[in-house]
Amino acid sequence: MKQITIKDIAREAGVSIASVSRALNGQDGIGQEKRDRILEVCERFSYTPNGLARGLVKQGTDTIGIIMPDIQSPFYSELMVKASDAAHKKGYKVLLCNSFREIPTEAQYLKLLVESQVQGILIFPIGPRSLDSMEKYGKNVPVVALNELPEKSRIPYVCADEERAGTLATEYLISRGCKDLVFIGFKAERLAHRYRASSFLKTAARMRIPARIFEGHSDFRSSFERGYEHFKQFLLSGEPMPDGIVAASDATANGIVKACRENGLRIPNDFSLIGFDNISTELPYLELTTVAVSHVEQTEKAVALLDQLVRGRQLSRAEAAVKLEPRLVERRSCKNGM
């Protein structure tokens, strides 16, 4: 399939390549009649301009890349969709990449995107170990992180205030009368989990309610599986059953629900359950109460931030480190035991 170039079109239409370029880009400085003729020829040859050449001379592609760990997770795919929307609104094209929760794959995509001359990158890091390559490629092109907080670094980010989220969730459970709390699905590598868990403990202590973190062993491919397996481990552990469970995330909560079904446990009858992230539109079988920031707000902020950077604005440390206020989304997975 030999590529047809602007030259072919020019020859065929009997004009110069400059005119073709002008016609194609809707610039003026060309007669209507000539323009029509050129466009007609393009159509006839089903000519498509070479984006590489154009990008090369224009020094830009109007494209940003989005890297996320798991396209199959409802959480990420929803955020991804919202983020592309936001990017499109700002006039960017979007390249999507799925890192499969693998650090090397993630690094590879960062490289690919930089090489593809995207103007900026939005990344949902896999975890703290993502930092190295983010910092490396962040020298070439602006990078904004969502969702994991690269606090130790200078990478700009937009995420939820997870500490506050943990507090909200715990307070809510207690306000509904829970007297014994367990946190399930904890994964130490996730910074968000660390915040959620530590403020969980802190809040419970402050309110004088017994609370513990269940540390399930071994890790699993997805948060869903982790929730499922950890909760089964918890049931087998012989530990006393709490009346309130904080799941490390909604995906985790979903796994817990599955384990409950298999063990004849009912929510919220047997215990109250609360999660984080608000992916529950994807959980048709459970109306999960959760704590989260608005996905739209988060992604739009992130794109706006990236856009600033792309346009070369210098941002202060504070402007580039956005923590959004989470709020409670009340549904039906918590009983009212007051």
Residues that bind a second copy (CB under 8 A): 1, 3, 46, 48-56, 59, 61, 71-72, 74, 77-78, 80-81, 84, 93, 95-98, 100, 111-112, 114-117, 136-137, 139-142, 224, 254, 258, 261, 284-285, 312
Q: Which of 139, 141, 95, 143 is nearest to 122 (CA)?
A: 143
Q: Note the helical H segments in the chain.
A: 6-13, 17-24, 32-44, 51-58, 74-89, 103-115, 131-137, 162-175, 191-206, 223-236, 250-262, 295-310
Joined tokens for residue 194: 């660390």
Rounded least distance, CB 145 to a second copy, Å = 18
Interior/surface letters 44-72, b for 16+ CB within 10 angstroms, e for the rest: eeebebeeeeebeeeeebebbbbbbbbee
Q: Which is nearer to a second copy, 24 or 209 (CB)?
A: 24
Going residue by residue from 30 to 69, which x/- string records binding to DNA, judged by CB under 7 A? xx--x--------------xx--xx-xxxx----------
Q: Which is nearer to a second copy, 98 or 308 (CB)?
A: 98
| Integer-rounded Cα radius of gyration of the chain | 25
Joined tokens for residue 164: 């506050």
Residue 74 to residue 269: CA distance in whole angstroms: 27
Give the DSSP per-residue string, 163-176.
HHHHHHHHHHHHHT
Q: Which does 112 bind (CB under 5 to 8 A by kind): DNA, a second copy, none?
A: a second copy
Joined tokens for residue 253: 């909560």
* Lookup result for tokens 């346009």: 311
Q: Which of 36, 32, 45, 33 is nearest to 6 (CA)?
A: 45
Q: Which is nearer to DNA, 120 or 156 (CB)?
A: 120
Q: Which is nearer to DNA, 6 or 80 (CB)?
A: 6
Q: Which does 84 bind (CB under 5 to 8 A by kind): DNA, a second copy, none?
A: a second copy
Q: Which of 12, 21, 100, 101 binds DNA (CB under 7 A)?
A: 21
Q: Which of 159, 228, 230 is nearest to 196 (CA)?
A: 159
Q: Which does 46 bind (CB under 5 to 8 A by kind): DNA, a second copy, none?
A: a second copy
Q: Which does 96 bind (CB under 5 to 8 A by kind): DNA, a second copy, none?
A: a second copy
Rounded least distance, CB 56 to a second copy, Å = 5
Rounded least distance, CB 92 to DNA, Å = 18
Q: Which is nearer to DNA, 25 or 269 (CB)?
A: 25
Q: Which is nearer to DNA, 30 or 103 (CB)?
A: 30
Torsion of CA 169, 172, 177, 182, to 10 degrees: 0
Decide: is 15 part of the binding site for DNA (CB under 7 A).
yes
Decide: is 28 part of the binding site for DNA (CB under 7 A).
yes
DSSP state of 239: P
Decide: is 209 part of the binding site for DNA (CB under 7 A).
no
Q: Which does 142 bind (CB under 5 to 8 A by kind): DNA, a second copy, none?
A: a second copy
Give the DSSP per-residue string, 260-274.
HHHTT--TTTT-EEE
Q: Which is nearer to a second copy, 211 or 309 (CB)?
A: 309
Applying CB under 7 A, the site for DNA has a residue count of 28
Binding residues for DNA, rule: CB under 7 A, are 3, 5-7, 14-19, 21-22, 24-25, 27-31, 34, 49-50, 53-54, 56-59
